[in-house]
Structure 1
Amino acid sequence: MVESFWSPIIISIRIALLATLIEILTGILFAWIMARTSFRGKSLLETCLLLPLVLPPTAVGLFLLAVLGKDGLERFLPIPFIFTYWGAVAAAVVVSFPLVYQTFKTAFSSLDPELEFAAKCDGANDWQVFLHIYLPLSRRAMITAVILGFARSLGEFGATLLVAGNIPGRTQTLPMAMYMAIESGQNRLALLWALCSAALSFALLLFVQHLPGRQK
């Protein structure tokens, strides 16, 4: 019983950690490009990047099924995604990415361009500007992005259910475990999982509120 109680919690945390790492890497890349360059179709691309934020999670899951399923990229990928752990990670990444991306883009866009200009006058290249100016000055935004991305990935349900299914011990995350417990009449167990989820999310959001330099 104890093992079955902790299993969805551990699976959710593992999926959320890996998804957050991917979101941070891709979020920084896209935010850096979008904050510093102008090109034809930029607004269209940004709309696509932010779209999962407003789409129903089930719609996101259906699109992922179409892209990653048997009739999509699965034929060319080295690992299967549908009804696997990696499918759950993919769903969490797509749903949480807009939060991470927007946090980074806002931070990068708010930096004084004179800092970059001065650094380049001293001979710095783009990589050095990014590493020694943008990242250090965006440290608080990075922490916020990590926490928001992790919390959103932790609570993902609709897209994960369609793409990864609800396989106990493999893809059954905390939200799905709660749903199945309610469906089977185990309301007390569902409530315990809900309390665990609320405690994790509360701690993360409280940490964000107390980041250094945040206005209170």
Structure 2
Amino acid sequence: MLFHKPYGVLSQFTPEPGSPWGCLADHIPIPGVYAAGRLDADSEGLLLLTDNGRLQQRLTDPAWGHWRRYWAQLEGIPGPEAIAQLQRGLVIQGRATLPARAELLADPQLPERNPPIRQRARIPTSWLQLELREGRNRQVRRMTAAVGHPTLRLLRVAIDLMDDGPPLSLAGLAAGQWREPNAEESRRLQALLQRSSPGRGGRAGGGKSGRAGGGG
């Protein structure tokens, strides 16, 4: 299923003792499904869930390098060199990130986050579209901070199945809503299990780069 994870929700079905965050069980009343990848509690956006262990593994295995698209609201406005650095890759915690796709984005006119983002007076914000095919812990935030523009709000908006079809998208889902894949999406997900090697843009043998399902 496709779920629009709200801010303040863990990517798991059991709450953490003493944590202020909610969990998936607060929104999804279906037993036996698990998240294929994760989003941090303070991130929002598209989370895929499945009861198929093989599909869960295929969607999160870094060797398959599924591109994941994020929209990040940044403090300040990154210039061309900062964008180029994100595209080339950065060294974060002693390891280089893979090349990414990065470009400034027009304000997507999203509903305001609850709680609202912190915003400093006289410092503008901007939106960045960033696409990654690896998923290290808080990678988007670490990358934008490394080029001088902390992330204030982060959403994952799409996941590419690497089959030349359109990415699975957040479109049409409000925060907290979920839906089953349509017939064509179900066919493509089943076809993913039949493939013997990564599709376009995948990286066979890329397991050392971190689980592909995170990043946010």
TM-score when scaled to structure 1? 0.23
Q: Which has the larger radius of gyration?
A: 1
User: Is the helix fraction higher in 1 or 2?
Assistant: 1
User: Is the strand fraction higher in 1 or 2?
Assistant: 2
